[in-house]
Amino acid sequence: MISDRLKKTILNVLKLDDYEIQSETRADEVPGWDSLNHINVILAVEKEYQVRFKNIEVLKLKNIGDLQKLVDSKAK
């Protein structure tokens, strides 16, 4: 399950108000989530949760559920 905090962070970066994202949602399915905004999303998530991701961790992400799991593993 995706937290409201993570959803809000992602949707704020992409300037989407009511877009529905789920654990299985992939970046290429979300309007405006291109390669540049991918970096912006990751940076915004790192800032929001005060964590740092390794490049390899980001490259392994397949969907938003994976991002949530990564955040949960790093957040205190």
What is the chain written as a DSSP string? ---HHHHHHHHHHHT-SS----TT--GGGSTT--HHHHHHHHHHHHHHHT----HHHHHT--SHHHHHHHHHHH--
Mean pLDDT value of segment 58-73? 97
13, 2 contact by CB (below 8 A): no
Mean pLDDT computed over 71-76: 90
**Which domains does the chain show, CATH number per domain?**
4-74 (1.10.1200.10)
pLDDT at 39 over 90: yes
Q: What percent of the chain has pLDDT over 70?
A: 99
Query: Mean pLDDT, to the nearest integer, of 3-13?
Result: 97
**Residue-level pLDDT at 30:** 96
pLDDT score recorded for residue 75: 86
